[in-house]
Amino acid sequence: MPGRAIPLIFASALLGFAGDIAIHAPSGDQTPGVGQSPPAEEADQLLAEGKEIFLERCASCHNERGDKPLKTGVPLNERGLSVEAIAQAVNGRLRDRTENERRAVRLYISSLMQNQDSGKERVPKP
């Protein structure tokens, strides 16, 4: 029986490894995480939704383009915030919104950071 233990252990390890790959493999319905750009066809819709929510909830302090100086410092669009810093602020301030809505606002704010010198909105490049 000792000769059968090695193939059994090997088979168990192999199945465990294959299962781990399946668990971590991306599926087609997953949305991009923080710092990842959405597919091009989704980007315009997300930017529009993000801008709408930003205007509703954030523009009173930051202006539509994030260019209003604040008592606490420079305008939002001049802060050069990282994707992670934007996500942390948006997730904290928009806790009552869905993850997709927060994602749209993060994308819109990121577009303001990249375009502070130009007057156009763009999706961050992957």
Each residue's pLDDT tens digit, 53-77:
999 999 999 999 999 998 988 999 9
Rounded to whole angstroms, the maximal C-alpha distance in the chain is 77
Element (H, E) at 74: none
Q: Answer whether 22's CB lies under 8 Å from 15's CB.
A: no
Residues ≥6 apart with Cβ < 8 Å to 64: 51, 54, 55
pLDDT at 5: 52
pLDDT at 42: 85
Domain limits, the chain: 41-126
Name the residue with tokens 């994308």. 107
Across the range 38-65, mean pLDDT stands at 92
pLDDT at 9: 47
As beta bridge partners, residue 62 has none
Sign of torsion, CA 63 65 67 71? Answer: positive
Fold type of domain 41-126:
Cytochrome Bc1 Complex; Chain D, domain 2 (1.10.760)
* Average pLDDT value for the chain: 75
